Amino acid sequence: MTKAASPDLFKQTLRTVGVLVAACVIFVGTLSIAVVAMTSRLFPASQNAELSQPEPSAKKPLSI
């Protein structure tokens, strides 16, 4: 291998790694946004607040 080929290979490798990382970031970001949007439509915030609050008439368990 000559010294002239080494910097070209290094630049090409860095460019390829950058493109692959960017593609993964775009893919995962888009997928995450889509899943969050679908989940928020299926479970609106008002329903989550109602489900997380226990009913006042519910009995609390007694410890011995």
Query: What confidence tens digit (pLDDT) does each residue in 18-55 have?
Result: 999 999 999 999 999 999 999 999 888 765 455 556 56
| Alpha carbons 13 and 19: distance in angstroms, whole number | 10
Q: Classify residue 63 as exposed, middle or buried by CB count within 10 Å of its CB (0-12, 13-18, 19+).
A: exposed
| Alpha carbons 55 and 51: distance in angstroms, whole number | 9
What pLDDT is stored for residue 64 in this prediction?
Answer: 75
Q: What is the reported pTM?
A: 0.55
| Alpha carbons 17 and 10: distance in angstroms, whole number | 11
Residue with tokens 């692959």: 20
What pLDDT is stored for residue 63 in this prediction?
Answer: 79
